[in-house]
Amino acid sequence: MTASDWPASHWTVPPFGLGTFRLKDQVVRDSVRDALELGYRAIDTAQGYGNEAEIGETIAQSGVKREDLFITTKIKPDNYSADKLVSSLRESLEKLQTDAVDLTLIHWPAPRGPVSAEEYLGALADAQAQGLTRHIGVSNFTIALLKQARELLGDRAIATNQVEIHPYLQNRKLAEFARQEGIHLTSYMTLAVGRVMEDEVMGEIAAAHGATPAQVALAWAMGQGFSVIPSSTRREHLESNMKALDLKLTDEDMERIAALDGRGERLANPASVAPDWD
């Protein structure tokens, strides 16, 4: 199975895609080009990453049909106000060379920022109503913030909440709430910035399956119903990561990985925009 086996028209949020955080200039061009050639069909970016234009150029040059792709971008806090959000998304669309993205997220809740959730979620809903994005969602939202978002958005579906989840920060309270409420989660930093590669337990599980620790971590997340968006600058790693789609872990494997939780190793926690975590 490859990521391109799912027609984009059937996706809400695909289970597997390419992350582009920290990838710039020619590096992001090469990563996206290699990923598309290997069969990736979901690309995750953000206004704050500063790479939308390079991604748009690479997609345009790839020959992959737009309808076969699932493109996600995120609105940065500087653009949350009602008079900026929609226009900033239009600028993102120009950079990405598309009439609409498949998913637009509020990147950080910015609870101490000058723009209220009511204002920025209302503007996000307006962007969807204008046809600039097929789906809308959030990122780095806590249980309380998810509840507030659902109240403010009414019948509009939250396609996903993109949050940090890896073996050392499993976010179980949030995951259980999301599961009960039918809110999809997308895991970012699933490989804990490479830490899973040095972990003895992950290594043992990988060896038992003829896999890599990275594949095990990705399969673990997808096995819980989360989407994953690993990034890499190396073609061989991009290709290897895709094999997680076919890796089935045992209940014992899942239990052993569950036991790695509790170290409190949160990797993304910018003080200016982060909430009070669950």
Q: Does the residue 143 lie in any domain?
A: yes
Respond yes or no: is residue 49 known to be catalytic.
yes
- The answer to whether 56 and 98 have CB atoms below 8 angstroms apart is yes
Q: Pick the catalytic residue: 40, 49, 80, 120?
A: 49
Q: Does the residue 206 lie in any domain?
A: no
Band of residue 7 on the pLDDT scale cut at 50, 70, 90: low
Give the CATH number for residue 86: 3.20.20.100
| pLDDT above 60: residue 223 | yes
Q: How far apart are CA 192 and CA 215, in angstroms?
A: 13
Band of residue 258 on the pLDDT scale cut at 50, 70, 90: very high
CA 181: distance to chain centroid?
A: 19
Domain with 181 in it: 12-191
Q: Does the residue 199 lie in any domain?
A: no
Kindly report, residue by residue over 66-100, the tens digit of the pLDDT: 999 999 999 999 999 999 999 999 999 999 999 99
Q: Does the residue 232 lie in any domain?
A: no
| pLDDT above 80: residue 1 | no
Specify the amino acid at residue 157.
Answer: A
Q: Does the residue 204 lie in any domain?
A: no
Q: Does the residue 272 lie in any domain?
A: no
Half-sphere exposure of residue 195: CA atoms within 13 angstroms, side-chain side: 14
User: What's the number of domains the chain is made of?
Assistant: 1
**Model pTM score:** 0.96
Q: Does the residue 271 lie in any domain?
A: no
Question: Edge-to-edge, what's the strand order for the sheet holding 18-19?
Answer: 18-19, 42-44, 70-75, 101-106, 133-139, 158-164, 185-188, 227-228
Q: Does the residue 231 lie in any domain?
A: no
Kindly report, residue by residue over 136-189, the tens digit of the pLDDT: 999 999 999 999 999 999 989 999 999 999 999 999 999 999 999 999 999 999
